[in-house]
Structure 1
Amino acid sequence: MPFFRYVVVLLLLLPIALFAQEDQKTFTVRYTNDILKIDGILDEPIWEMAESAGAFHQYFPSDTTLAAQQTDIRMLYNNTTLYIAIKLNTEGDDYVIPSLQRDYRAGGNDNISLLFDTFNDGTNAFLFGMNPYGVRREALISNGGSGRDNFTTSWDVKWQGETKLYDGYYVCEIAIPLTSFKFKQGETKWRFNSYRFDMQTNETSTWIKIPQNQLIYSLAFMGDMVFEKPLGKSRTPLALIPYTTGLISKDFETDASESKINFGGDAKVSIGNGMNLDVTINPDFSNVEVDNLVVNLSRFEISLPERRQFFIDNSDLFGSFGSQRDANPFFSRRIGIAENLDGETIQNGIIGGVRLSGKLTEDWRMGLLAIQTEADEANEIASNNNTVLAFQKKMFARSNLSFLFVNRQTFDEYDFLEETDRYNRVVGLDYNLASANNTWFGKFYYHQAFAHDIGSRNASGGFNLQYNSRYLNFGLNSNFVGNDFRSDLGFVRRQDIVAARPFVEINFWPTRGKLNSHGFRFNPNAIWRPTLDYQNTDYNIFSSWQAKFKSQEEIAVRLFNRYTFLTDPFDPTGTDGGTELPGDVGYHYTSYEVSFQSDRRRVFSYSLEPGYGDFYNGTRFVFEGDLSLRLQPTVFISMGVNYNSIKLPEPYESADLWLISPRINITFNKSVFWSTLVQYSNQLDNLGFNSRLQWRFAPLSDLFLVYNDNYFVNSFMPRNRSINLKLTYWLNI
């Protein structure tokens, strides 16, 4: 579809009337000169003077009544600190606490979360949370909290929090330095909300009333916290985070051993009230959790989430452009990895980098990221400068218009480097639509790529518009990726496509019985290839029924009617040297799936997802499952299983593919954590062990001991082994 049609659609949507939530709540945050002791005991008389933010609404199992177990929040502040006292009523003391480790997952256990939209833009927010045992978590919410990808717990900041258990309730007392936030000098209010999970009464509640068809951390539903005196200047102290690491490793395939000691570090500098400057020199990511392996039966690459701390803060400014499924122009995991001469993915060292990001004004955000990677001439890998520049302008209640410039370029001359690979640039615009009450949301975008001798089909664009209500949801996602569109720092799943993915969903909310909600979804999608005279090469007609029970179990039944036209030969089993299905042939196939998720509040919980049906010219049986055992609060054991039995007629390949992933997490206390993950995959011919011991000896300062071991599956011969000791220390100046 030509770009001007997207512009016309965008202009037609701009004047849509956007209505805010009806239930606007507010409370006053009193100013104090006192410095309060954080101990979970609210014995300071000044707490009696603080205004209450209470009357929590139930979100689950109903969203039409006040919460059965009420929560009372009070706040005070002085020139440096925001103090928070929370009283949470409970039925008893049988709390669900899976772990003592920071940044826990909130669902399925007892905890409370506080959301602060400090720039009152409905787009970004800081989250702080605690559970009854005083375990803390913090997170960043982006893009209005409109999707599950807009929530990241990888952000870290220093703050205090303690809890104390009483008969029939528990108390959280919190002190957050104002320097942990970003806000406008002289500000008199922030938008605020809080949500709470109470497992004993099987209740989820929120301060602001939120309908169940909306995500509980949506920034469309917030009240106001009004400061008694305007806030002063926010200036985060200079933070230096040096590290040292020692590594011993051996590659058994090449019989090469290595022992080395590295030094490096990060610096965090506050610029004004809204901007952060982050600097990294010789970063080391050896302590980052390993990726979960996946079974890939498609012809295309898959994306994995970013886990490295340096790339997390304000990551939505850089990484939320385009289509996350088909053509994301910037995907930070591209930086620091490369392919060697054998086509294998290897680590590519990062020399250093800077990131400047945050709020320029009330309506403007900016992000600038520049990373320099080192050369590896033995593997014909050039040194590259990787730069991303983004601007975002707030529009209407919660929408924004964003500009992106991505540049990957080498400035040195290399004999092995083709001229077409010396640089690649992408320029684009995205309009992100979000109504005030989040009933309408979506995006419109257009990006163009530049490189030496690039072809004329070098653009990517599309739109995604969705309507979300209590009973009816519908939408259309349509996009195109040109055959010459290229983004070396992005994730482009496939080129030369025009895709259309409409959907409609009808939901029901029974007032009686065991069901909380159930509904039907119809989601056809199709892909055409412009260079093949717009031949329809793929379609999938997806139909499903899903239900959620008041006891928190979930069940779903799914039907897939697929068509795939293979333009090239392909072996879905990935058998080394196997006979491939022929190209220029189309395949129709139908399959079914059933899934069940048990109540995660239980000591033992599980999920099951069997499926069976046609697969190209054969059949496929698939079983996915997960078992979890909670010996709270110290031990959490889980086992993931993925089994695919693919049967294709002779002479094509058949295979039984297994992915088994047991994991054990032990939290000895709130400072010492030990996690071990084993991953067996016969598709990847790998048995991997990753064991990580972490000691948080000071706030945000850690000692890591990480052991990695990998074996070939068939021969059980070792592949590579390493042990790493890393020390980081967070120093505020």
Structure 2
Amino acid sequence: MNRFVITSILFLTTLNLFSQHKEFEVKYVKSPVSIDGILDEPGWDEAQPAKDFWQYFPSDSVQAKNQSEIKMLYNENYLYVGIKVYIEGQDFVIPSLRRDFRAGGSDNITLMFDTFNDGANAFLFGVNPAGVRREALVSGGGTSLRGFTTSWDVKWTAETKVYDEYYISEWAIPMSSFKFTEGTKKWRFNSYQFDTQGNERNTWIRIPRNQFIFNLSYMGDMIFEKPLSRSKTPISLIPYVTGSLGRDFETEKDLDDFKAGGDAKLSIGNSLNLDLTFNPDFSQVEADNLVTNLTRFEVNLPERRQFFIENSDLFGDFGNPEEANPFFSRRIGIARDSSGINRQIDIVAGARLSGKLNNDFRIGLLNIQTKEKEEFNIGANNNTVIALQHRLFERSNISAIFLNRQNTSSDLMNPEDEYNRVIGLDYNLGTLDNTWAGNAYLHKSFSPGLTEDDFSTGLRLNYNSFNWRVRGSGFYVGENFNSDLGFIPRKGILRIDPKIEHLIFPTNEKMVQHNISFIPMVIWKPNLDYKMTDYNFIGAWDTEFTNTSKLSARAFNRYTYLFSEFDPSRVGDIALPASTDYHYTSGELEYGSDSRKIFFYELESNYGEFYNGKKFTQEARLNLRLQPNYLMSMEVRYDHVDLPEPYSDNDIWLIGSKFDITFSKSLFWATLIQYSNIENNFGINSRLQWRFAPLSDIYLVYNDNYFSNNSFAPRYRSINLKLNYWLYL
């Protein structure tokens, strides 16, 4: 029997071991359940529990040492959840009392509901022993961290009580929080639980360690006693008022302002959402972390604005997400002036319809109007996105997108800025067990005066077994392919970036997993006779220890051809000339400590050649938890760029420190202090938030920015007071 046959048998045996069919019944109750964390209503005694949890970490082959039991009841208005989690003691890890906490490194239990039974999307709710709640949306089958969105918010209640050997959590989630097909009797379901004292991560449905713990391929069934009826469809109004005092010291202008506006949320049937916004204000949104970017290209930052969050995968998961994404929502509200500087643009109003028309067909419609900014010669624009998705087979789909940015200020309009349009078609492959996944796409843009080389296409195929992950992928972006609403850092390139990764699960008690991987990335310029412009060969070894610490080592071998001059030191002095090329190698070592400790940290060091010189990078991320009220973190990055004469050297510093104080579950104070000498900025963002009613807040936000050079002169200062209130009609 040859090696291929043996490997195939072992792989199929492994799949069979993880193939489970577990289900439990959800009882119908007429009377409401009191949410007090006691589970003393008669319905709880009759409810069938979801039990017999499996370990996911440190092993995936044994039952959990500390078990959990989950019961559910329901009526037309609410899904009631009663959870009993067994514990070894009460020395919990609870970093914060702030809602939407991270599951990693803390005690909690999380439930996921696949309401359309398609293995593609799920609603996620979780709680920790202190009764702090979190909710999120899981998209893309739960196969990557990109599909995990914690910015989504809904109204629901939970109470938790801790006893000697267990804690109990009781929930009431409005049925209107879910989207589902009327008349259905089954949802797919899974739960995962983090136990820091027992050093376990457990799941109801057994999940292999080579998959994410929130992977939607591995789920059981919750069977409703009666078919689900149409849920109540409330209208949510979220008005706001905000006042600000500010001054731009560079232009010597006062920036005092008063605004009012709001959002509205309407459920259309059980499966569609209509979101409306008028004169939105995002002053309360958490500030972005500064980054040190030593590449020649821009970096993207995550979307944090609530209006763009729900069903964001329907609009944003097209093309290559990191290199050729036709729609990147953060482009809306930002425009580039004639000097190439990005300016913040006010949004007048917007509407978004998204959700499912039936079990196989999703639709997304988005239209947003932005204002003009006359002082920067930026016109008003209407931005439209239409996304359609049809499911094929079990977890695959075919998707289409249309984007249109239309200038609506003819007096400010440059001919080349009149419009930009993109049409595209994607096929997304996903097998039920996640063994095969992939994507193929073709997108074409339409811009004034451009008729050739204005398309982008790509292909990716992933194979994922218990011990091997193999990827074949490549894409092309035409020189004239433009998407003003997308993220496309490079054009006119053909790139391939396959990957092979071997996963090893040792029996050593101190080690959990080794990953050995190799990624050869190569880029050519097709319009220059396929001249090679870059390559980066990456070899990596990653290991995870039983105590949750991690160690990684990476080696890089690079080649870069400069088509235009570039200063790697960022001094702005003498740049490396165009039409030159460079071969350079470097190595990197990273260590992350036990995240369950009061003080935990990550250290990263990189040293090696950098273009025609050398670069040394040292980065430290430090965290101190004085739970549950105080969480302090600091990130320090130092880059020393050493180039030969006549080019410049540079010492680049980036320091960020965050202080997060949660006085209670409704009063929070977060302060972010950042220093960057490459940006010549020292900034303070301090935000006091009082949640005086469910999803209703008062924010007091203070921003202060200074030049970080010797003068330390002020750049910009503001203080904002904002009130928003969530009304159900």
- 1:216 counterpart residue number: 213
Aligned to 1:582: 577
Q: Which residue of 1 aligns with 2:4?
A: none
Distance 1:251 1:675 in 2: 24
Write the mapping of 1:89-488 to structure 2, written as runs, cut at 5 A.
Answer: 89-414=86-411, 416-488=412-484
Question: What is the alpha-carbon distance in structure 2 between the residues aligned to residue 334 and residue 439 of structure 1?
Answer: 34
- Residue of structure 1 in register with 2:558 after alignment: 562
The answer on whether the counterparts of 1:383 and 1:412 sit within 8 Å (CA) in structure 2 is yes
The code of the aligned residue for 2:662 comes to T
CA–CA distance in 1 between the matches of 2:16 and 2:703?
A: 53
Unaligned runs of 5+ in 1: 1-17
Structure 1 counterpart of 2:359, one-letter code: E
Question: Could you give the per-residue CA deviations for residues 668-690 of structure 1, whole angstroms, max 9, x where no partner exists?
Answer: 00000000000100010000000
Partner of 1:710: 705
Partner of 1:601: 596
Name the counterpart of 2:486. 490
Q: What TM-score, normalized to structure 2? A: 0.97
| Distance apart, 1:146 and its partner CA | 1.1
Matched residue, 2:680: 685
Deviation at 1:341, TM superposition (A): 4.7
Deviations 1:381-418 (A, max 9, x none): 0110000000000111111110000000013312x532
3-state SS in 1 of match to 2:45: helix
Shift of 1:106: 0.6
CA distance in 1, matches of 2:569, 2:362: 46
CA distance in 1, matches of 2:713, 2:92: 45
Which digits, 9 at most, give the CA deviation of each residue in 1:243-279, with x for residues without a partner? 0000100001111112221000001111111111111
- Which one of 525, 530, 536 corresponds to residue 532 of structure 2? 536
Which residue of 50, 57, 61 corresponds with 1:60? 57
C-alpha distance in 1 between matches for 2:40 and 2:358: 41
RMSD over equivalenced CA pairs, Å:
1.1
Which residue is 1:671 aligned to?
Answer: 666
Q: Please, which of 627, 634, 643 is the counterpart of residue 622 of structure 2?
A: 627
For residues 19 and 324 of structure 1, what CA distance do their matches in structure 2 show? 33
1 CA distance for matches of 2:408 and 2:702? 37
Amino acid corresponding to residue 488 of structure 1 in structure 2: D
- Measured in 2, the distance between the counterparts of 1:129 and 1:342 equals 47
Equivalent residue letter for 1:434: G
Deviation, structure 1 residue 22? 1.6
Task: Report if the CA contact (8 A) 1:21-1:437 is conserved.
Answer: no
Larger deviation, residues 564-573 vs 510-519: 510-519
Aligned residues: 714
**Which runs of structure 2 are paired with 1:22-61 in the superposition (5 Å)?**
22-61=19-58
AA of the residue aligned to 1:365:
R
CA distance in 2, matches of 1:460, 1:24: 42
How far residue 691 of structure 1 moved from its aligned partner, in angstroms, is 0.1
Does the CA-based 8 Å contact 2:570-2:650 persist in structure 1? no
Distance in 2, matches of 1:20 and 1:182, equals 32
CA distance in 1, matches of 2:76, 2:414: 58
Report Cα offsets for 1:29-85 as digits up to 9, x if no partner. Answer: 011112111111112222110001000010000000110000000001112111110
Q: How many angstroms apart in 1 are the aligned matches of 2:514 and 2:152? A: 35
How far the C-alpha of 1:489 sits from its partner, in A, is 0.6
User: Counterpart of 2:307 in 1: which secondary structure?
Assistant: helix
Deviations 1:314-356 (A, max 9, x none): 1111111111121100011111012345433221010001000
Structure 2 gaps of 5+ residues are: 1-14
Indicate conservation of the 8 Å contact 2:76/2:231, yes or no: no
Q: Provide the C-alpha distance between the structure 1 equivalents of 2:369 and 2:241, rounded to a whole number of angstroms.
A: 20
Structure 1 residue ranges, 4+ long, deviating more than 3 angstroms after superposition: 18-21, 340-343
CA distance in 2 between partners of 1:176 and 1:324 (Å): 33
- Counterpart selection for 2:586 from 571, 591, 612: 591
Q: Does 1:614 align with 2:609?
A: yes
- SS of equivalent to 1:62: coil
- Secondary structure at 1:158's aligned position in 2? coil
Which amino acid is 2:675 matched to?
Y
Structure 1, residues 222-247: CA drift from partner, whole Å, max 9, x if none?
A: 10000000000023300000000001
Query: Is contact 1:180-1:236 (8 Å) kept?
Result: no
Alignment of 1:506 onto 2:506: no
The residue type equivalent to 1:248 in the other structure is: L
* Partner SS state of residue 179, structure 1: helix
